[in-house]
Amino acid sequence: MKKELSELMRDLDVKNAQAADSDGKRAAKQHEKGKLTARERIDLVLDPGSFVETDALQEHECVNFGMEKQKFPGDGVVTGFGTVNGRPVYVFSQDFTILGGSLGLAFAKKIMKIQDMALQNGAPIIGINDSGGARIQEGVDALHGYGGIFFRNVRASGVIPQISVIVGPCAGGAVYSPALTDFIFMVNGVGNMFITGPQVIKQVTGEDISQEALGGAKAHAEKSGNTHFVFNDEKACFDGVRTLIELLPSNNMCNPEVVDWGDTIDRMESDLGGLVPTDSRKSYDIHDVISRVVDKGWLMEIQPDFARNMVIGFARLGGSAVGIVANQPAWMAGCLDIDASDKAARFIRFCDAFNIPLVTFVDVPGYLPGKAQEHNGIIRHGAKLLFAFAEATVPKLTVTLRKSYGGASIAMANKDLGCDFMLAWPQAEIAVMGAEGAAGIIFRKDIQAAAAEDQSRVKAEKIQEYEDLFCNPYVAASKGYIDMVIRPEETRPRLIQALRVLKGKRDTLPPRKHGNEPL
């Protein structure tokens, strides 16, 4: 006999309640571990009341190893869409309380569907990861599911922003989806990522290491560079995700929104020049320069604890979002090395994909010398930075603050790599190398020919001669390699003026399937 509508509605309510864990038993287990639930996390990242869940009642079809008795509506992942500050976003959140958040075919299909929706509708996607990995009982179906997700990550790359949040385990093949996305957020003591866990490592190599030391947020922030943002609690983490979404366009066909923060466009900072010593051997913190130039002194720094000789991040100039790339003289004198090149190159390519202008602050003595750098591929890795800047078609603005030597000078977005507007401070030194090294090569015979007691004096005179000739911005400016030599305090208004003039920039690459980046 056909059920009455009221009974059918009750059945629906029961199923929805089961999917939503309305009795709170599963949530309690998650809270005992100091973690939030899948839905609590979605509530933190999306605007209140905006979430619309999809496939809440989907279940797996596996009948192996007694799995037919372990079915739950939703199958361990919550998917849907909502808004962040009124802008549409898509989201999936893995639920560790259901079968350890393990991925089976139905689980994967839910994620793939939401990935397809995000791509088709041109909106960012946020993936919240808290999973024990592949559902072993489903065998190759689980592998097929991961493959489908990876495929979609790649197809969406450079088309819509993809953000991953690691708030639990993320191991084995599961790590590759976050690795293929644009930004990874992690929470200290909560999230971890690794290909093989501590037990497998112990069995195979004999190494004894904890889960946190192997793949915790600190390890990935400082050593591997796999994560971009680290927070101490989940609320702060999801606030960070919301902040990032605000800065980015919804897709590659849009421009970032202009937001007036009320900072004066023609603001001058009289102490700016004094922050950078004219003596190129002295260090300073590049953050002090950046904070005086950008709107309200605010920088959303990316990977602050990895390759600290390079600073990257998002800021605003005159309300427009920009990507900041800067050498850090306070760390390794701001040299370029393997990690710094990789860090900057990937960020540059992201900004270029999503129409975010690039502002580069240069104070670089060269590439880091040494056998380890050479043998580990500084040539190949350094070329990534050249490739990224040369390939980028967004507005590119460069400010040479002080040192800009040799091949590193080119790599830091000089005129030859397509810089649209190149500024230099009066203390800028643009040359093949520093004066002492150059004088030692050019005037070696003159120095050696001098009497022993006069060699130090002659060397000092030749160093000064080289400095007078080349260690300034005027030779480059006279040849058109620099557009303008400015007073340091003029930096902010000059950059904002240039950004406005370059707003309509149109630059296209030669027809091709894609370039062959030196990976």
Q: Give me the active site residues, please.
A: 172-173, 407-408
Q: Of 475, 482, 248, 264, give the one whose Cα is nearest residue 362.
A: 482
DSSP assigned state of 367: B
Q: Amino acid identity, residue 46? A: L
Rounded Cα distance, 266 and 261, in Å: 14
Q: At what angle do helices 234-247 and 38-45 cross, to 10 degrees?
A: 40
SS3 170: strand
Q: DSSP labels for 397-410? A: EEEEEEEEEHHHHH
Give 424-467 as a DSSP string.
E-TT-EEESS-HHHHHHHHTHHHHHHS-GGGHHHHHHHHHHHHH
Indicate the SS3 state at residue 10. helix
Closest CA to 177 of 143, 147, 197, 198: 147
| d(C-alpha 480, C-alpha 490), whole Å | 20
3-state secondary structure of 59: coil
Alpha-carbon distance of 309 to 393, in angstroms, equals: 25
DSSP state of 56: T
Q: For the CA atoms of 98, 101, 106, 108, what is the dihedral angle to 10 degrees?
A: 160
Residue 424 near residue 477, CB atoms below 8 Å: yes
User: Going by C-beta distance under 8 Å and a sequence separation of 6 or more, which residues neighbour residue 239?
Assistant: 44
Q: How many CB atoms lie within 10 A of CB 464?
A: 13
Which residues are CB-neighbours of 454 under 8 A, at least 6 positions away? none
